[in-house]
Amino acid sequence: MDKKKLVLIGNGMAGIRTIEEIIKLLPDQFEITVFGKEPYPNYNRIQLSKVLQGDTELKDITLNEWQWYEDNDILLYPGETVTKIDKDQQVVYTDKGKETPYDYLIIATGSNPFMLPLLGADKEGVTAFRDIEDCEKMIDASKNYKRAAVIGGGLLGLEAARGLLNLGMEVDVIHIADYLMERQLDQPAGELLKKELESQGMNFLLEKQTAEITGKKRVTGLKFKDGGWIPADLVVMAVGIKPNVALAQESGIEVNRGIVVNDHMETNVPNIYSVGECAEHDQMVYGLVAPLYEQGQALAKHICGMNHQGYKGSVLSTQLKVSGVDVFSTGLINETAETKSIKVFDEWQNTYKKILVQDDKLKGAVLFGNTKEGTKLLSLIKKGANVEDYLESQSAADDGESIVASMSDDEIICGCNGVSKGAIVSAIKSDGLTSVEEVKGATNASRSCGTCKNLVSDLLTDTLGDEYEADTKETVCACTDLSRDEVIAEIKEKGLTHTKEVMNVLEWKTEEGCSKCKPALNYYLGMVYPKEHEDERESRFVNERLHANIQKDGTYSVVPRMYGGVTNAKDLRTIADVAEKYDVGMIKLTGGQRIDLLGVKKEDLPDVWKDLGMPSGYAYGKSVRTVKTCVGAEFCRFGTQDSTGMGIQLEKKFEGLNTPHKVKMGVSACPRNCAEGGIKDVGIVGLDGVWEVYVGGNGGTELRKAELLVKVKSQQEVLEYTAAFLQYYRENARYLERSSHYLERVGIEHVKEVVNDDQLRKELNVRMDEALGVYKEPWNEVLESETTLKDLYQKVTAK
Ligand X SMILES: NC(=O)c1ccc[n+]([C@@H]2O[C@H](COP(=O)([O-])OP(=O)(O)OC[C@H]3O[C@@H](n4cnc5c(N)ncnc54)[C@H](O)[C@@H]3O)[C@@H](O)[C@H]2O)c1
Ligand Y SMILES: Cc1cc2nc3c(=O)[nH]c(=O)nc-3n(C[C@H](O)[C@H](O)[C@H](O)COP(=O)(O)OP(=O)(O)OC[C@H]3O[C@@H](n4cnc5c(N)ncnc54)[C@H](O)[C@@H]3O)c2cc1C
Which residues contribute to the annotated binding site for siroheme? Answer: 674
Q: With CB cut-offs between 5 and 8 Å by kind, which of ligand FES, ligand SF4, ligand Y, none does residue 674 bind?
A: ligand SF4
The verdict on 77 binding ligand SF4 (CB under 6 A) reads no
Is residue 376 a contact partner of residue 393, using CB atoms and an 8 Å limit? yes
The residues, any chain, with a CB within 8 Å of residue 549's CB and separated by 6 or more, are 543, 556, 557, 559, 619, 620
Q: Which residues are annotated as a binding site?
A: 630, 636, 670, 674
Q: With CB cut-offs between 5 and 8 Å by kind, which of ligand X, ligand SF4, ligand Y, none does residue 513 bind?
A: none
Q: With CB cut-offs between 5 and 8 Å by kind, which of ligand FES, ligand X, ligand SF4, none does residue 415 bind?
A: ligand FES
Give the separation between CA 205 and CA 180, rounded to whole angstroms: 10
Give the contact letters, 315-334, x = binds to ligand X (CB under 6 A), - = no: ---xxxx-------------
The verdict on 665 binding ligand SF4 (CB under 6 A) reads no
Give the contact letters, 239-258, x = binds to ligand X (CB under 6 A), - = no: xxx-----------------
Residue with smaller CB distance to ligand SF4, 279 or 674: 674
Strands 549-550 and 361-368: unpaired
Of 429, 432, 476, 478, residue with least CA distance to 453 = 478
Give the contact letters, 93-122, x = binds to ligand Y (CB under 6 A), - = no: ---------------xxxx-----------
The verdict on 159 binding ligand X (CB under 6 A) reads yes
Measured at the alpha carbon of residue 141, what is the angle toward residues 138 and 143, in degrees to the nearest 5? 120
The verdict on 287 binding ligand X (CB under 6 A) reads yes
HEC letters along 324-342: CCCEEEEECCCCCCCCEEE
Measured at the alpha carbon of residue 487, what is the angle toward residues 483 and 491, in degrees to the nearest 5? 170
Min dist CB 319 to ligand FES, Å, is 7
Is residue 695 a contact partner of residue 719, using CB atoms and an 8 Å limit? no
The H or E element spanning position 626 is: strand 624-629
The verdict on 542 binding ligand X (CB under 6 A) reads no
Is residue 243 a contact partner of residue 277, using CB atoms and an 8 Å limit? yes
Is residue 610 a contact partner of residue 783, using CB atoms and an 8 Å limit? yes
Residue with smaller CB distance to ligand FES, 125 or 415: 415
Of 1, 43, 371, residue with least CA distance to 193 = 371
Q: Which value, to the nearest 10 degrees, does the dihedral of the CA atoms of residues 678, 681, 684, 685 take?
A: 0
Residues 434-453 contacting ligand FES, CB under 6 A: 445-452
Q: How far is CA 24 from CA 28, 146, 726, in A?
A: 10, 48, 61
The verdict on 645 binding ligand X (CB under 6 A) reads no
Min dist CB 182 to ligand X, Å, is 5
Residue 726 main-chain phi, psi, to 5 deg:
-65, -40
Q: Report helix, strand and coil shares of the chain as percent, to nearest 5.
A: 35, 25, 40
Give the separation between CA 383 and CA 412, rounded to whole angstroms: 10
Q: Which residue is nearest to ligand Y (CB)?
A: 12
Taking CB under 6 A as the binding criterion, the range among 472-480, 523-531, 631-639, 690-698 that sits at the site for ligand SF4 is 631-639
Min dist CB 448 to ligand X, Å, is 10
Give the separation between CA 561 and CA 654, rounded to whole angstroms: 12
Give the contact letters, 452-491, x = binds to ligand FES (CB under 6 A), - = no: x---------------------------------------
73 dihedral zone (left: phi>0; alpha: psi -120 to 50; beta):
left
Residue with smaller CB distance to ligand Y, 415 or 621: 415
Q: With CB cut-offs between 5 and 8 Å by kind, which of ligand Y, ligand FES, ligand X, none does residue 154 bind?
A: ligand X
Residue with smaller CB distance to ligand FES, 208 or 382: 382
The verdict on 168 binding ligand Y (CB under 6 A) reads no
The verdict on 632 binding ligand SF4 (CB under 6 A) reads yes
Give the separation between CA 608 and CA 610, rounded to whole angstroms: 5
The verdict on 176 binding ligand X (CB under 6 A) reads yes
Residues 44-73 contacting ligand X, CB under 6 A: none
The verdict on 211 binding ligand SF4 (CB under 6 A) reads no
The residues, any chain, with a CB within 8 Å of residue 297's CB and separated by 6 or more, are 18, 21, 418
Position among 25, 91, 464, 636 found at the interface with ligand SF4 (CB under 6 A):
636
Taking CB under 6 A as the binding criterion, the range among 84-92, 145-153, 460-468, 535-543 that sits at the site for ligand X is 145-153
Is residue 147 a contact partner of residue 232, using CB atoms and an 8 Å limit? yes
The secondary structure of 212-241 as a DSSP string is EEEESSBEEEEEETTS-EEE-SEEEE-S-E
Position among 177, 405, 587, 754 found at the interface with ligand X (CB under 6 A):
177
Min dist CB 704 to ligand SF4, Å, is 21
Residues that bind ligand SF4 (CB under 6 A): 630-632, 636, 638-639, 643, 668-670, 672-674
Binding site for ligand FES (CB under 6 A): 414-417, 445-452
Binding region for ligand X (CB under 6 A): 116, 151-157, 159, 174-177, 182-183, 209-210, 238-241, 287-288, 318-321
